[in-house]
Amino acid sequence: MKASSPPPAEPSDAKGASGAALPGPEIRVRRIHRRDLNRVWEFLKLTFRNVNRQTVEYQRPRLKKRFLEVYEEEGVEQLIFEVTGTAGKDEIVGYTECTFEVIGEDNWINESYFEKRDMRPLYIEELAVHPAHQGQGIGGFVMEQLEHLGRVRGCTHLVLEVAENNDNALRFYRVRNFYKLDAAIFLAKKLQTEAELLPPRKLRRKKAGDPSPRAAANATKKAAATAKTAATAKTASAKKAGVAAKKSPSAKKAAADPK
């Protein structure tokens, strides 16, 4: 449940030469259509770009795939707020996404919290105002639409999540009588750590006359081969001597004359 940075207050209306307030563009609200998905996704990326640089948790769907999945889910209201630009083309200036019940099995919302307090929330999942159009009353109109939607659906509260360091959004909501429900925040503690790799180490100086590593390795191999050859020859000599002893006349006579 994320919210962007609507303006903390609306500026005074612009005035013409006669001192009368000049009318601004007309804002319209409608439900999202499949053809709007790509435009809305690009709008959300633009709106939350600066907010996400300051927060631990992403303040919008991280993946477009998930955003597209939300469109297919039952029970999710996705509303687009548009104005007609100078070129006569409709421009998205606001977006909100809300539900009247907890959606999905892996959801962070604890429904019993609200049930015990006799609260029937409208959950605001997203609220975004185009950065270039903030200060024109768009955020207030979006919030008015959400309050109206909640009332006609029998909700008693609007519930949303906002980053604690998103000062603009916090001011916007507090002015509209939002209050803190929970004290959940991100905490961190710095640990005294050690590098996984050992630091550089001085090597022993090579003494004059010391063989090179390759020469030393070859000498070791040669010595091992010589020792192996000598052991093989000794074994063969012992076997040969045993065979000769068995073939001698005295050995045959001793075998023929038992005691």
Which tens digit of pLDDT belongs to each residue from 53-67?
655 555 566 688 988
Evaluate whether 22 touches 16 at the Cβ level (below 8 Å).
Answer: yes
> Which pLDDT belongs to residue 243?
60
Asked if residue 25 has pLDDT above 80, the reply is yes
Identify the DSSP state of 61. Answer: -
Rounded to whole angstroms, how far apart are CA atoms 135 and 7?
6
Share of the chain above pLDDT 90, in %: 36
Burial 229-238 (b: 16+ CB within 10 A, else e): eeeeeeeeee
Alpha helices in the chain (DSSP H): 37-52, 64-72, 111-116, 138-152, 167-175, 213-247, 249-256
CATH code at 27-175: 3.40.630.30
DSSP 147-180: HHHHHHTT--EEE----TT-HHHHHHHHHTT---
Which tens digit of pLDDT belongs to each residue from 113-142?
899 999 999 999 999 999 999 889 999 999
Evaluate whether 41 touches 67 at the Cβ level (below 8 Å).
Answer: yes
> Which pLDDT belongs to residue 58?
57
> Which pLDDT belongs to residue 87?
79
Asked if residue 2 has pLDDT above 60, the reply is no
**Per-residue pLDDT band at 239 (split at 50, 70, 90):** confident
Which tens digit of pLDDT belongs to each residue from 70-116?
999 989 999 999 999 877 889 999 999 999 988 866 567 888 989 99
